[in-house]
Amino acid sequence: MDAYELLTRNAEEVVTDEEVRDLAEDPAGKRAYVGYEPSGVLHLGHLLTANKLIDLQDAGMEVVVLLADVHAYLNEKGTFEEIRDTAEQMKAQFLAYGLDEAQTEFVYGSEFQLEEEYTLDLHHLERETTMNRAQRAMAEIQGDETAKVSHLVYPLMQTLDIEYLDLDLAVGGLDQRKVHMLAREKLPELDYDVRPAIHTPIVADLTSGEGKMSSSEGISISMEDSTEELEEKVNSAFCPPTREPEDDLENPVLELFEYHVFPRFEEVVVERPDKYGGDLTYEGYEDLAEDLDSGELHPADAKGTLASYLDELIAPGREKLRELRS
RNA sequence: CCGCCCUUAGCUCAGACUGGUAGAGCAGUCGACUGUAGAUCGACUUGCCCCCCGUUCAAAUCGGGGAGGGCGGACCA
């Protein structure tokens, strides 16, 4: 797989394609980042972007994981001590999941976001940005909460992070797109370079198949699920025997295969009793999706298989969490 | 600082005028039917009624105080 394909596969959006193609010409040593508000347990939403980070590392890029403690503080996620504690757990789980330690730099926001130069730049950016513009960038992340000044500062800091972390690429879920667009618009106004952005899709809600727009709300599968819980959750997922359900719904089981399983496994084996046709082997997502669509692969078998592969992906992180908590 | 409106189940809200310790829809849980889930049908669960004080035999409801949220307070209309 060439570098461009590694950078862009499974991405919902690439901004801009031209810039990313340039980056793919010589990716070695280039720096990409994702920012996360620290949380103690990783869920599928985190892992989706982590898969992209692994792709980037495979292409030779350096990955910066921003443990966004100041952002979490702005979002009232706890005291700095609590936030830092969950951030350490988060870091351990990312490494257990498969990020390459040698190519990953974990950075706390508070390490540089409280410096004088950064702060002054932030104030500069505040002067350059209307409240309307900042709020629009945050709408997706903020949800229904009442707007606070902190919500306006939040996306401005993300904009500066891209400069201060010396990045070549910003990565995030599709919910980050407005923030990244704000950054692309504002960085030149401060005489900084524009960086491209790659956005991962938002997977539909597991039980309803609805979504594409809501952020991490509906995602229920996490690093702390036991094998049994995982099986139960996957089994209760919405899964019509089609690729494209009616009424604008998605098939979340297929989405999980596409975005979580196939990027991490060379082949997927569906174990089936002989009476249902015996085992099936897939080397790519397309073949599996086509078989589900045609009826060759029954949803129940797809679910069983999905659960066991997800379990394998989650197992090391689950183990790490257990260690940390004991 | 001043004024008006809102706060009841996870969510959206009814109930308040005419006090008698709460309801609907959606969601959720469980069964039936499907080799999954959904849909459908059947059953079921859910509450510091924002807080405090007072009136009363009795307060979600009346009175006072407070908190949180929304909106308004130039001109124009």
Strand B, nucleotides < 7 Å from a protein CB: these are: 28-29, 35-38, 69-70
Q: pTM for the whole thing?
A: 0.89
Query: SS in 3 state form for chain A?
Result: CCHHHHHHCCCCEEECHHHHHHHHHCCCCCEEEEEECCCCCCEHHHHHHHHHHHHHHHCCCEEEEEECHHHHHHCCCCCHHHHHHHHHHHHHHHHHHCCCHHHEEEEEHHHCCCCHHHHHHHHHHHHHCCHHHHHHHHHHHHCCCCCCHHHHHHHHHHHHHHHHCCCCEEEEEHHHHHHHHHHHHHHHHHCCCCCCEEEECCCCCCCCCCCCCCCHHHCCCECCCCHHHHHHHHHCCCCCCCCCCCCCCCCHHHHHHHHHHCCCCCCEEECCCHHHCCCEEECCHHHHHHHHHHCCCCHHHHHHHHHHHHHHHHHHHHHHHHHHHC
Contact assessment for residue A309 and residue A270, using Cβ atoms and an 8 Å cutoff: no
pLDDT band at A47 (very low <50, low <70, confident <90, very high): very high
Residue A322: pLDDT over 80: yes
For chain A, percent of residues with pLDDT exceeding 90 = 75
Judging by beta carbons within 10 Å of its beta carbon (0-12, 13-18, 19+), is residue A217 exposed, middle or buried? exposed
Estimate the crossing angle of helix A149-164 against helix A131-142, to 10 degrees: 90
Say yes or no: Cβ of A299 under 7 A from any atom of strand B. Answer: yes
Query: From the CA of A138, how many Å to the C1' of B29?
Result: 36
Report the complex ipTM. Answer: 0.81
Q: Which stretch of A51-60, A80-89, A243-252, A261-270 has the lowest confidence by average pLDDT?
A: A243-252
Annotated binding site of A for L-tyrosine: 33, 154, 158, 161, 176
Contact assessment for residue A268 and residue A288, using Cβ atoms and an 8 Å cutoff: yes
Q: Which stretch of A57-71, A73-87, A158-172, A266-280 has the lowest confidence by average pLDDT?
A: A73-87
Q: Work out the average pLDDT over A202-220.
A: 66
Residues 171-210 of A with CB under 7 A from strand B: 207-208
Q: How many CB atoms lie within 10 A of CB A264?
A: 17
Contact assessment for residue A153 and residue A127, using Cβ atoms and an 8 Å cutoff: no
Query: From the CA of A99, how many Å to the C1' of B7?
Result: 47
pLDDT at A145 (0 to 100): 67
pLDDT band at A213 (very low <50, low <70, confident <90, very high): very low
Closest residue, by C-alpha, to the C1' of B37: A238
Closest residue, by C-alpha, to the C1' of B27: A208
